[in-house]
Every structure is written in structure tokens, then in C-alpha cells.
Amino acid sequence: MEAVLIERGEQAFHARQIFRWIYRRGVADVKQMTDLSRPLRTKLQGEFMVPTPAVRSEQLSFDGTRKFVLELADGRHVESVFIPDTPAMTFCISTQVGCAMSCGFCLTGKMGLVRNLTPGEIAGQVRVLAKATGLLDKPFNIVLMGMGEPLHNYDNTMKALRMLHQEHGFAISPRRVTLSTVGIVPGLERLAREPLMPNLAISLHATTEEQRTALVPPNRKYSLASLIETCRNFPLKKRARITFEYVMLEGVNDSPDDARRLVKLLAGMKAKVNLIPLNPAPGIDFNRPSDERVERFAQILADRHMTVSVRKSRGRDIRAACGQLIVDGGTKKSAGQQMALLLRST
């Protein structure tokens, strides 16, 4: 922005003013940026706009969770979720329209990938949610756990995080951001070298190659063994740990044997396990295990000194919980159609 202003014979510091309006005050309309001179506002207004996702609908859960359907400039939609009191205030943000990973238990996976979000669209969700929830000048956490696979849209996701970190904007510390991934190994290797490093969550979900390939198809390419190896080598700050997410599917991966294998797999790692009892949805051919079964699984981990938590599902009544985000009809595209879309978006 500074470069653009200088090119037009304006002073660079206006960039800071504009950035503050956009991020700290939630104002995207140049006309309302009252500390810029009128001529400058008129000039900028004629040339620029700040595309901002538009709230198309909003649903409120009995537990305070709010799900937003946001419309992007091209008419596509994504979902973003506000989850209060976790104990922090948390925004769950999407990185793609749809997702190409096709995990068998996830509704977004059924959509296939429509397109990547731009850095502005990723950061824009945070702007919209912060404004809608009155948190523009208050602390909040961000989890990249909405629609899409962040490491499958690596550059845009990382650019968005840099924008959100910018000191004149939200100035969000990377400690307040968690990136969740199915475990695209080359992406993790790149992430390991990033100066701005979010917390890492790995969607593990299984303890053998065969079981994981059946549930998380990218495992075919990035094996469980290579993923675990990469995690073992991942640089972690003092006291930091990798979260391993484990969706629990009745009769599939929820037995005491699975729990014991999980302990072995993660032995010696700075890890914590987050169990996610399946959030059922139409078209998902798995069942949620009973609370007792989840409890038993958790106990086996705890007995072996692993840190384990069970994710409370939030907003299930409005289909805002993990794996329940889906928009635009959600018809799965063929591999050929997906490839065409990918090519078009590059």
C-alpha cells in the first residue's frame, strides 16, 4: 500500500491510516476514512476498493456458537464460525471453497475443491467476524479449521497470517493461531522454516497405514510413517506441543487396541491428543461412538501419561461443528473436473 501511494505522489504514512481503518475499525469504505483528506479519499475511491466477504446468513446455536455464510466477490460461499468461551474467543476460518482431501467422514470433503481463497479472503473472514462479534479491539484466537486444507493453499494461507500479524492491523501473535492439516508432508517441511509459526494440529485419525488411507486418502501419498517422522523433526518452541486430532468413528478406530497403538505411535513426542467424537451428517456413513467408549479410549491414553482432551462439539444444532461445513450444493466433481478447476485458478 505504501508503494502504491508513493507511486501516486502521496505520502507513505497514509497506508498505515488506511490499514488501521480496515482492520482496527472494520471500515472498508474509503469515504468513511475521515483522517484522510477529502481529495485523497476521492482519488483512492475512484481507483481502489477493499473487497470484503458479505454476510449472506448467520445462525446462532443454543451454545452461543455463530455460523456465518459469507459470499465472496465471485458469488462463491464459505462458512466461518465464531466459537465463544473456549475459554478464549475463537474464529474458525476457511482457506478454500470446498476441499480436495476427500476424508470419508467430512462433509466439506464431499464438495470437492472449488477454488483456493485469496490471502485477502482468508484475512477478510477475520475482519468480518471480528466486526460482527464486537471483537475488533479485543483478543481472539484463530483456528484454520474451517473449509479447506490450509497446506493445499500454502502461499495464500501464509500471506493471510502475515497480514493478520501486521502491527497496524490486528497484530495477532502466531501463538493465537492454530493451523490444522491432514499432513501434507512437503507443506509441513516448508512450514518448519517459516519465521511466523502458528501452532500445529495434525488430523491423524488412524494408527495404521491401511486404516489411515481408508479414512484420509492423502495418506496414500504422504504415509503415516513419513508424517510421524516429519512431526518428530518439527521445530517446536519451548513448552509447545503438536496437537494430534483424532476423529472417533464407532467400530472403526475407537477400540482399546487403537488407543494403545496411538500411544506407541506418539511415544516420546511433544504431543497432545484431541479426540473428536464424530459429528454425524447426512451422507456420512459412520457413527459416533458412545461417551463411554470415548471415555475408555481417553483413559488408556491418560494412564500412559499422554495429554488428552475430548473436543466438545460446538454448534452442532446449526451444523457448524467440525466436518459439517458445506455450501453451494456440494456436488462432488470428478477428478477431471477438479483438475480443470485447479488449472483455471492458477
Catalytic one among 92, 99, 103, 322? Answer: 322
CB nearer ligand SAH, residue 90 or residue 180? 180
* Binder of ligand SAH out of 77, 323, 327, 341 (CB under 6 A): 323
Residues 6+ apart with CB under 8 A from 190: 154
CB nearer ligand SAH, residue 160 or residue 281? 281
* Binder of ligand SAH out of 103, 160, 172, 301 (CB under 6 A): 103
Count of CB atoms within 10 A of residue 43's CB?
Answer: 16
> What residues from 27 to 56 belong to the interface with ligand SAH (CB under 6 A)?
none
The 3-state DSSP class for residue 266 equals coil
Q: Least distance in Å: CB of 104 to ligand SAH?
A: 9
Reading the block at residue 300, the C-alpha cell is 488408556
∠ at Cα 66 (62, 67), nearest 5°?
A: 120
Q: How many whole angstroms separate alpha carbon 216 and alpha carbon 244?
A: 14
Q: Rule CB under 6 A: is residue 279 a binding residue for ligand SAH?
A: yes
> What residues from 139 to 158 belong to the interface with ligand SAH (CB under 6 A)?
145, 149
CB nearer ligand SAH, residue 44 or residue 206? 206
Count of CB atoms within 10 A of residue 290's CB?
Answer: 12
Question: Going residue by residue from 164 to 183, which x/- string records binding to ligand SAH, judged by CB under 6 A?
Answer: ----------------xxx-
CB environment 294-304: b (16+ within 10 A), e (fewer):
beebbebbeee
92 included as an active-site residue: no
Stretch of residues binding ligand SAH (CB under 6 A), selected from 41-49, 112-120, 153-161, 274-282: 274-282
Count of residues that bind ligand SAH according to CB under 6 A: 19
From the list 208, 266, 216, the residue with the least C-alpha distance to 241 is: 266
Query: Radius of gyration of the chain from Cα atoms?
Result: 21
Whether the bond between 87 and the residue before it is cis, its omega within 30 degrees of 0, is yes
Catalytic one among 79, 121, 149, 245? Answer: 79
Reading the block at residue 35, the C-alpha cell is 483522517
> What residues from 197 to 236 belong to the interface with ligand SAH (CB under 6 A)?
203
322 included as an active-site residue: yes
Q: Least distance in Å: CB of 311 to ligand SAH?
A: 8
Count of CB atoms within 10 A of residue 250's CB?
Answer: 15
Q: Rule CB under 6 A: is residue 106 a binding residue for ligand SAH?
A: yes
Phi and psi at residue 308, to the nearest 5°: -135, 140
Q: Rule CB under 6 A: is residue 187 a binding residue for ligand SAH?
A: no
Q: Rule CB under 6 A: is residue 18 a binding residue for ligand SAH?
A: no
Interacting residues with ligand SAH (CB under 6 A)? 101, 103, 105-106, 145, 149, 180-182, 203, 245, 247, 276, 278-279, 281, 284, 322-323
Q: Report, as residue numbers or ranges, the catalytic residues.
A: 79, 322
